[in-house]
Structure 1
Amino acid sequence: MKMRYAMLCSSNQNRSMEAHSFLKGQGFDFASYGTGAHVKLPGPSLREPNVYDFGTPYKHMFDDLRHKDPDLYKRNGILPMLKRNVTVKTAPQRWQDNAADGLFDVVFTFEEKVFDMVIEDLNNRDQTLMKNVLEINLEVKDNHEEAATRSRLTLELCQELEAIESWEDSIDEILAAFERQKGRALLYSVCFY
């Protein structure tokens, strides 16, 4: 069964874009979004993040940070991350502003607070179609290595979901088996469009 997927993170565009890039390369139909008010990238200190509006092209962010301090942003992995993001899509999108982008079969989140935000958003929408959407949270630490590891785990979950006729009938068993095999706890919920 061919499914449509969304990846969501809060605002930094690393975890969802890593998964988006990796899984798109594997032939899956993916979109990625942030849920924060702005895109926030690490700055020279924790108190000085680089803040951009959603819709700001990744190329602009790359050029801006390369101009500010190329050594810092290369060393902390932000410039390579933005270079990757440019190859995936033009600019970051905000989940709440892009409801018209389509209906997804599965929405992956990578932190519990985003999982909760998506459930709240979907429950507050007009649910006129009564089409179900599976939301799965696979907790990911916000670093490049962990994002890459979780992308592979997400791929395995997608492959299992694609291999069955109807996830609705066996999702409990699939996710319980995944948790046992991988030693990773998952949260999941079913919402509706």
Structure 2
Amino acid sequence: MKLRYAMVCSSNQNRSMEAHSLLKREGFDVSSYGTGAHVKLPGPSLREPNVYEFGTPYKQMYDDLRRKDADLYKRNGILPMLKRNYSVKTAPQRWQENAVDGRFDVIFTFEEKVFDTVIEDLNNRRQPLVRTVLIINLEVKDNHEEAAIGAKLTLDLCQELESVDCWEDSIDDIVILFEQQHNRKLLYSISFY
């Protein structure tokens, strides 16, 4: 079964893009989005984040931060992250504005508040397709190491979903097995859009 996936995180594009990058390399049909108002990347302090509009090319962000303080942004992993991101796609996209026509079978989120945002957004849309969609939240801390682990776990889940004839009939068993094998709790919901 060939499914179409969406990876969704808040606003910094680390966790969703790490999963997007890995799944794309593995041949999956995947897109990625953020749900925040802007793309926020760490700055020189917590009170000074770097804020960009969705749609700003990753290469432009990379060049901007390299000009500001290449050593800082290389050391904290932001420049390598942006380099990975622009090798995957041109610019970050906002879920609420760009996923309208996406015909996704499975949507992954990486924090519970994003899971809630996606479900709320789907419930508030007009339902022209009335297609079933599975939303899964895999809680992943927002750092580079955990994003890599989360991406691998997401890949494992996608492979399990692809291996069955009908995920609707198998999702409970897939989730139970995943939780036992990886000692991680998943939230999931089935919605329509």
Report the Cα offset of residue 170 of structure 1: 1.4
> Is the deviation greater in 101-110 or in 1-10?
101-110
**Aligned residue identity for 2:6:** A
**Aligned residue identity for 2:190:** V
**Aligned residue identity for 1:115:** F
Q: Secondary structure at the match of 1:176?
A: helix
> Is the deviation greater in 60-69 or in 125-134?
125-134
- Determine the C-alpha separation between the residues in 2 that align with 1:98 and 1:151: 22
- Determine the C-alpha separation between the residues in 2 that align with 1:140 and 1:160: 19
Match of 1:20? 20
Runs of 4+ in 1 over 4 A off after TM superposition: none
How many residue pairs get matched?
A: 193
Match of 2:53? 53
Unaligned runs of at least 5 residues, structure 2: none
Percentage identity across aligned positions? 77
Report 1:112-131 matches (<5 A): 112-131=112-131
Q: Secondary structure at the match of 2:154?
A: helix
Report the Cα offset of residue 100 of structure 1: 3.5
1:135 aligns with 2:135: yes
TM-score (norm 1): 0.99
TM-score (norm 2): 0.99
Report 1:55-134 matches (<5 A): 55-134=55-134
- Determine the C-alpha separation between the residues in 2 that align with 1:104 and 1:130: 12
Match of 1:40? 40
Report 1:168-179 matches (<5 A): 168-179=168-179
Unaligned runs of at least 5 residues, structure 1: none
- Determine the C-alpha separation between the residues in 1 that align with 2:77 and 2:171: 36
- Determine the C-alpha separation between the residues in 2 that align with 1:34 and 1:147: 15
